Structure 1
Amino acid sequence: MENWGAVMVDLVDMAEEFQAMNLQEKINARAQFTACSNYECEDCGEDIPDQRRAIGGVTCCIKCQFSFEAKQKHFRR
């Protein structure tokens, strides 16, 4: 039982390392969205709101994107 404290410290260290790696992955993924967004939806031609365009690389309005993702759920491999 004397090593119990050392085991807990190791677990905490591993959890902190995992959190740091997870955060860095999310930061790196966010940096990849540097493409310009469309002003109009490629599917329906409606204007894409500025809030959605701020994401970067957006090509469809939220309605068309939702429809696309709903269809994709049925065709997973």
Structure 2
Amino acid sequence: MADEADVASEIADHWVSMRVGGLLQSVNTVSDNTHCEDCGDEIPAARRKAAPWATLCLTCQEIQEKASMQYRR
């Protein structure tokens, strides 16, 4: 039977691999990241220049971050 630390470690490993995989995909398609993958709105040029790996517009990014903060509690 797995203890809580093992389960937590597996969950953390899963999230890290998902995030790294997403970042690698983003890096591979940087030139195509002109529109938000959530809402479809255009990602402003200033955001694309500041964070070329960004796949979300600022609004969707903020929503995602707020949701992840609630999940961590």
Equivalence map 1:33-72=2 (5 Å): 35=27, 36=30, 38-54=33-49, 55-72=51-68
Runs of 4+ in 1 over 3 A off after TM superposition: none
How far apart are the structure 2 equivalents of 1:53 and 1:44?
16
* Structure with greater helix share of residues: 2
How far apart are the structure 1 equivalents of 2:35 and 2:45?
11
Shift of 1:56: 1.4
How far apart are the structure 2 equivalents of 1:74 and 1:52?
25
Match of 1:66, as an amino acid?
E
**TM-score, reference length from structure 2:** 0.54
Aligned CA RMSD, in angstroms, stands at: 1.9
Question: Which ranges in structure 2 are unaligned for 5 or more consecutive residues?
Answer: 1-25
How far apart are the structure 1 equivalents of 2:34 and 2:52?
11
Percent of matched pairs sharing the same residue: 41
Aligned length: 44
Question: Which ranges in structure 1 are unaligned for 5 or more consecutive residues?
Answer: 1-33
